Amino acid sequence: MDKKQEKQKDAGKILIEELNQDEKESATHKRSFWNVITIPLLAILSGIIIGAILIAATSTSVYAAFGQSFGKGITTAFSEIGSAYASLFTGSIGDPVRIFSALFSGDKEQIYKAINPFLESLVQATPYIFAGLAVALAFRAGLFNIGVEGQLFIGAACATFVGYAVKGLPVYIHMPLAFIAGGLGGALWGFIPGFLKATTGGHEVINTIMMNYIAFRLTEWLLSGPMTRPGSGGMPISPLIEESAQIPQFFPSPIRFHLGFFFALGFAWLIWWLLFKTKWGLNMRTVGTNPRAAKYAGLSVAKTTMIGMAISGGLAGLAGAIQILAVNRSMALGLSSGYGFDSIALALIGNNHPVGVVLASILFGTLRNGATRMMVVSRIPIDIVDVLQAIILMLVAAPAIIRTIYRLKEPKEEETTVFVSGWGGGQ
């Protein structure tokens, strides 16, 4: 018995040393960077190829052309795919020809319009970054936060309330106040399942899902009851927030690019610093990797669980707050197209690293933004982007598929994915 305990204690120590070691090593280890980034990139490429096949296979004009002749079918298929991806590109990054001609003309308005697609992609990416960070942070602490969507709704509701109910404050107080209120609302909503896990062992996966339902119904009730817009007859929409609560946009309408994107980058940096540069972050990651070892090393698993869930929920709440304060300016039913659930995918693609999350978020934002233009020009429903995202995610989640397709070598050390231990790791 004694021996066993000693052994486990050692395991804890070794683990902590290893985690420290890991950081130093990976900084000098350039190969591992390529290892990390190859799989997602190849997954994206594969997703685009499979998406192309789907675009061609669901197009009636392609079938009509095949009816005429095989060659015509092939050319039609390629031109359909070409026009779809061309519009996806010009809709999300911008039309290169237009950007150049705008730059040469020197007309400010033309330049704004030409670069708007790219800026709009960043607008789309902003809530993804916050929500993705929320999931990634929880994963690092060995927690599976499925409740990001609900936390986002609560955060949005809190930010909205402070945004319209508090009046007469200057912008540099009111705006941060509303933003923080959103974070606190989300943090509370994340803390509850964290607290339940720490004290009763109730699994956070179940509890966060249940908290989602409570959050959805609660916000519906708030929006059509206490927070409804006067004169709307009970429509599920809140009053407009005060101008002093709005996060400023940089350019005149229709460009929506706003300060919140830089908030998101700031928070990504903050989370990176917390996770990898502080003792607190080390403790958190230790608990996440092996809660038993962490316990024997003298760390409080319960405390980490509660704090981890609260911060994760807070980040999710900020995702909701940013949408209200910077983009929507009021809260209504249909606030989110599923940021909370997409964010699980983002964290996975981003390898639960803040930098990865930011990059994955920009990818998702770009895809979703480009999809609008794809719908307008090529009449391809936005659903194709959901399929694309799903394929990319599946390929990232199952790297063996990518390795087989592209004949990559198995990496020497199997990368440990933290979230796996999240399932029952704490039990």
Partner 1 sequence: MSKKFLLILSMVVIGSMLFVACGPTAEEEGVYVCQITDTGGIDDKSFNQTAWKGIQDAEEALGIRSNYLESQEVADYEKNLNAFQEEGCDLIITVGFLIGDATAAAAVANPDTYYSIVDYAYEETIPNVVGQVFETDEAAFLAGYAAAGVTQTGKVGTFGGLPIPTVTIFMDGFAKGVAKYNEVKGTNVEVLGWDLDNPDAGLFSMDFDDQQKGRELAVSLMDEGADIIMPVAGPVGLGAAAAIQERGNAYVIGVDSDWFLTSPEYADIVLTSVMKLMDATTFQVIENVINDSFEPGVIVGTLENEGVALAPFHDNANLISAELQAELDQLQADIIAGTIVLD
Is residue 330 at the binding interface for partner 1, with CB under 8 A as the rule? Answer: yes
CB of 11 to partner 1, least distance (A): 33
Kindly tell me which of 6 and 220 has the beta carbon lying closer to partner 1: 220
Please name the residue ranges forming H helices in 143-278. 148-165, 171-200, 204-224, 260-277
CA distance 404 to 68: 37
DSSP 8-state symbol, 327 = I
Part of the chain binding partner 1 (CB under 8 A), chosen from 66-74, 180-188, 347-355, 379-387: 379-387
Is residue 333 at the binding interface for partner 1, with CB under 8 A as the rule? Answer: yes
Kindly tell me which of 19 and 210 has the beta carbon lying closer to partner 1: 210
Footprint (CB under 8 A) of partner 1, residues 6-65: 31, 34-35, 37-38, 41-42, 45, 48
Kindly tell me which of 8 and 232 has the beta carbon lying closer to partner 1: 232
Residue type, 283: N
Partners of 249 in the beta sheet? 258
Quick one: tokens of 394?
């599946």
Is residue 336 at the binding interface for partner 1, with CB under 8 A as the rule? Answer: yes
Footprint (CB under 8 A) of partner 1, residues 64-93: 79, 81-83, 85-87, 89-90
Could you give the C-alpha distances from 251 to 108, 112, 257, 381, in angstroms and in order?
A: 11, 8, 7, 30
Quick one: tokens of 210?
């249940």
CB of 193 to partner 1, least distance (A): 24
Among 377, 387, 394, 401, binds partner 1 (CB under 8 A): 377
CB 255 within 8 A of CB 248: no
Footprint (CB under 8 A) of partner 1, residues 250-269: 253-254, 256
- The contact pattern for partner 1, residues 206-245, with x = CB under 8 A and - = no contact, is -----------x--x---x------xxxxxxx--x-----
Among 205, 215, 268, 335, binds partner 1 (CB under 8 A): 335
Kindly tell me which of 92 and 305 has the beta carbon lying closer to partner 1: 92
Cis peptide, bond prior to residue 236, ω within 30 of zero:
no
CB of 1 to partner 1, least distance (A): 48
Footprint (CB under 8 A) of partner 1, residues 133-172: none
Nearest alpha carbon to residue 119 among 212, 258, 266, 278: 258
Phi and psi at residue 187, in whole multiples of 5°?
A: -65, -40
Footprint (CB under 8 A) of partner 1, residues 339-358: none
Quick one: tokens of 305?
């669980």
DSSP 8-state symbol, 324 = I
Query: What is residue 155's three-state secondary structure?
Result: helix
CB of 327 to partner 1, least distance (A): 5
Partners of 332 in the beta sheet? 237
Is residue 323 at the binding interface for partner 1, with CB under 8 A as the rule? Answer: yes
Query: What is residue 202's three-state secondary structure?
Result: coil
Partners of 258 in the beta sheet? 249
Nearest alpha carbon to residue 142 among 194, 195, 186, 192: 194
**Which residues are near partner 1 by CB under 8 A?**
31, 34-35, 37-38, 41-42, 45, 48, 79, 81-83, 85-87, 89-90, 95-96, 113, 120, 217, 220, 224, 231-237, 240, 253-254, 256, 323, 327-330, 332-338, 369, 372-373, 375-377, 379, 381-382
